[in-house]
Structure 1
Amino acid sequence: MIESTFPILEVADMQRALAFYRDALGGVVVYSYPPDGEGEPVYVSLSTGATSMGIGLTESPLPPGNVMLWFYVDDVDRVTTHLTGHGANVIEGPVDQPWGERTALITDPFGTRLHLAAAISAPPDEE
């Protein structure tokens, strides 16, 4: 049935979203509509490491929904600090978790929750 899935964030300000997800977080635009040179984009698809996500322009501002994005990063503390300089708000600062990851919870400039995580040790053995 399902071959793949990916999130699409609806935002009221595409340039601000690109400044956060492309420029600050390092996503790579792999598709834009309309194509470059034919007007401001109303939809972009970003490569985000081994996954992808879309960003779609909406006519009216939407309140944040029940979406949370989880990003594995190389350094949770550094990325948290970097993204706060680009409009993110820290909900939970970086902390070591008992399952072997360091995580932080932030929101993007639109209120969407993002968990940042990095492995700090091997995961515990499953019983």
Structure 2
Amino acid sequence: MKVNRIVANLTSNDPAHSRSFYQDILGLDLFMDHGWIHTYGSDVSMKVQVSVASEGGSGTDVPVLSIEVDDLEEVLKRLTDKNIPIVYGPVDEPWGVRRFYVRDPTGALVNILQHI
């Protein structure tokens, strides 16, 4: 038996409200829209991972999602252009990532990172 996919499910009264964040800012494609659920994704192959943590590192809260990108500064620019506040960072962490935290439209704490 093997796990083929892990999907994060975030609660929202209006799933379409998150479209700008996940599609316009992070560049994900809308894979599925049934009205009550929107699924965003990428055709890029990824390793299946689940993290269990007592903190988010550097004394921060544990984020609901960690999203690795190839251009952290571009994502940061897109967020600041839309006046979306950064909760933590950006900062170069001692374990080899540059990252920041932001809240998505559902209020979920999201860790945006790039390996350095």
Q: Return the TM-score normalized by structure 1.
A: 0.65
Partner SS state of residue 19, structure 2: helix
Does residue 1:75 correspond to 2:76, yes or no?
no
**How has the CA–CA distance of structure 1 residues 79 and 106 changed in structure 2, closer, same or farther, with 3 Å as cutoff?**
same
State the structure with more CA Rg: 1
**How has the CA–CA distance of structure 1 residues 42 and 67 changed in structure 2, closer, same or farther, with 3 Å as cutoff?**
farther
**Residue 95 of structure 1 contacts residue 103 of structure 1 at CA under 8 Å; is this kept in 2?**
yes
Question: How high is the sequence identity, in percent, across the aligned residues?
Answer: 27
User: What is the letter of the counterpart of residue 7 of structure 2?
Assistant: F
State the alpha-carbon separation in 1 of the partners of residues 76 and 89 from structure 2.
8
RMSD of Structure 2 on Structure 1 (CA): 2.3
Partner SS state of residue 23, structure 2: helix
Post-superposition shift, 1:87?
A: 5.8
State the alpha-carbon separation in 1 of the partners of residues 88 and 8 from structure 2.
23
Partner SS state of residue 98, structure 1: coil
Post-superposition shift, 1:94?
A: 0.9
**How has the CA–CA distance of structure 1 residues 9 and 68 changed in structure 2, closer, same or farther, with 3 Å as cutoff?**
same
List gaps (5 residues or longer) in structure 1. 34-40, 52-65, 121-127
User: What is the letter of the counterpart of residue 26 of structure 1?
Assistant: G
Does residue 1:42 correspond to 2:24, yes or no?
no
Matches within 5 A, 1:1-127: 3=3, 4-33=5-34, 41-48=35-42, 49-50=44-45, 68-86=64-82, 88-120=84-116
User: What is the letter of the counterpart of residue 33 of structure 2?
Assistant: S
**How has the CA–CA distance of structure 1 residues 111 and 77 changed in structure 2, closer, same or farther, with 3 Å as cutoff?**
same
**Residue 87 of structure 1 contacts residue 108 of structure 1 at CA under 8 Å; is this kept in 2?**
no
Post-superposition shift, 1:67?
A: 5.8
Equivalenced residue count is 99
Post-superposition shift, 1:109?
A: 2.5
**How has the CA–CA distance of structure 1 residues 10 and 90 changed in structure 2, closer, same or farther, with 3 Å as cutoff?**
same
List gaps (5 residues or longer) in structure 2. 47-61
